[in-house]
Structure 1
Amino acid sequence: MREIARTIALTSPFVQGTVLLAARMLHLQPSDAQSVIERLTPGRSPTFGELWDVKGPDVERLAADAGASVSPVDARALAELCRDVDPWTPMCPSCGELTLSAVAGKVYEVPALGTVCPFCSAAAIALSPVLIRRVNWATGALVEPGITVDIRSVPGKAIPFMDDEFRAWAGRVDANLDRALAEAGLPIYAFLALLNLRLGRFEKLGWEEARELLARPDAFGLWQELDRLIADAFRFADEREVTNLPRRFLADGRSRDQFGEVKINGRAYLLAGRIAQGDTSDVYLARTDDAMPLHVIVKALVTDDRDLLRHEVANLKTLATADVSGSELFKSTVPEYVMEGVMRRPDGSEWPVVAYRYRHGFDWSLADVMGEYPEGVDVETMVWMANRLFLNMDWFHAVGLVHGALIPPHLVIHARDHSMVQVGWGMAVRPGQKLVGISEAYAAYYPEEALAGRVNELTDFAMAARSLIAVVGGNPATGQLPSHVPEPVGEMLVRYARYTGAPTRGLRTTGMDLYNDWRTTMESVFGPPRYHPCHMPRPTATARR
Structure 2
Amino acid sequence: MSPGRGPRPDPRTDFDPDDDHRKKAPTPRPAPAPAPRSAPGDPDFAALVAAVHAAGAPGELFGTDQPARWYRRMVRILHPDTTTGDRATATAAFARLAELWAEHEGRGGAVLETRTRRYRMGPLLATGDLANLFRLGHADGDVVLKLPRSPGDSDLIEREATALAQLARDGDPRHRAYVPRLVETFRHEEPGTGVRRTANILSDHSEFVSLARVAESYPDGVDPRDVAWMWRRLLVALGHAHRAGVLHGAVLPEHVLIHPREHGLVLVDWCYSVTTPDTPVPALVARHRDRYPPEVPDRRPASAGTDVHMATSCMRDLMGTRAHPALLRFAAGCSLPDQRRRPQDAWRLLAEFDELLEDLYGPRTFRPFTLKE
Which interval holds the TM-score relative to the shorter structure?
0.5 to 0.7
1:335 maps to which residue? 180
Residue 376 of structure 1 corresponds to which residue in structure 2?
221
1-side partners of 2:147 and 2:70: how far apart?
A: 27
Partner Cα separation in structure 1 for residue 71 and residue 180 of structure 2 = 38
Structure 2: unaligned runs, 5 residues or longer: 1-61, 73-107
SS in 2 for 1:367: helix
Higher alpha-carbon Rg? 1
Distance of 1:515 and 1:464 partners within structure 2: 12
For the pair 1:421 / 2:290, whether they are aligned, the reply is no
Post-superposition offset of 1:536 = 3.1
| Paired positions, count | 272
Code of the residue aligned with 1:322 in structure 2: it is D
What is residue 269 of structure 1 aligned with on the other side? 120
Instruction: Tell me the equivalent position of 2:329.
Output: 491
CA–CA separation in structure 2 for the residues paired with 1:360 and 1:438: 24
Matched, 1:518 2:344: no
Tell me which amino acid in the other structure corresponds to 1:445. R
Letter in 2 for 1:402: L
Task: Give the counterpart letter for 2:287 in structure 1.
Answer: A
The residue that corresponds to 1:94 in the other structure is: 64
Q: Give the secondary structure class of the aligned counterpart of 2:170.
A: coil
2:202 to 353, 356, 363: 356
Contact 1:282–1:301, Cα closer than 8 Å, also in 2? yes
User: Any gaps of 5 or more consecutive residues in structure 1?
Assistant: 1-91, 96-115, 125-258, 474-481, 539-545
Alpha-carbon deviation of 1:293?
5.9
Deviation at 1:468, TM superposition (A): 0.9
Deviations 1:390-417 (A, max 9, x none): 1221121111121111111111112122
The one-letter code matched in structure 2 to 1:307 is D
Q: Contact 1:404–1:427 at 8 Å: present in 2 too?
A: yes
- Secondary structure of residue in 2 paired with 1:274: strand
Q: Does residue 311 in structure 1 map to residue 159 in structure 2?
A: yes
The separation in 1 between residues aligned to 2:281 and 2:340, in whole angstroms, is: 20
Check 1:462–1:503 CA distance in 2 against 1; reply closer, same or farther (3 A cut).
closer
Structure-2 change in CA distance of 1:260 and 1:379 (3 Å): farther
How far apart are the structure 1 equivalents of 2:312 and 2:70?
A: 53
Once the 2 structures are TM-superposed, how far is the Cα of residue 382 of structure 1 from its aligned partner?
1.0
Partner residue in 1 for 2:291: 445
Q: 2:312: which partner in 1?
A: 465
Q: What's the CA shift for 1:491?
A: 1.1
Contact 2:110/2:121 (<8 A) preserved = yes
In structure 2, relative to structure 1, the CA distance for the partners of 1:456 and 1:441 (3 Å cut) is: same
Deviation at 1:275, TM superposition (A): 2.1
Q: TM-score, normalising length from structure 2? A: 0.65
Deviations 1:171-223 (A, max 9, x none): xxxxxxxxxxxxxxxxxxxxxxxxxxxxxxxxxxxxxxxxxxxxxxxxxxxxx
Higher relative contact order by CA 8 Å / sep ≥ 6: 1 or 2?
A: 2
Does structure 2 conserve the Cα–Cα contact (< 8 Å) formed by 1:401 and 1:431?
A: no
Cα distance, 1:276–1:532 mapped onto 2, change above 3 Å: farther
- The code of the aligned residue for 2:331 comes to L
The Cα of 1:527 is off from its aligned counterpart by: 1.2
Question: Distance between the aligned counterparts of 1:491 and 1:117, measured in 2?
Answer: 61
TM-score by length of 1: 0.46
Distance 1:390 1:123, change over 3 A: closer
Rate the CA distance shift 1:331–1:494 in 2: closer, same or farther, 3 A.
same
AA aligned to 2:304 is: E
Q: 2: distance between equivalents of 1:333 and 1:472?
A: 22
Sort the Cα spacing of 1:317 and 1:123 in 2 relative to 1 into closer, same or farther, 3 A.
closer
Q: CA deviation at 1:344?
A: 6.2
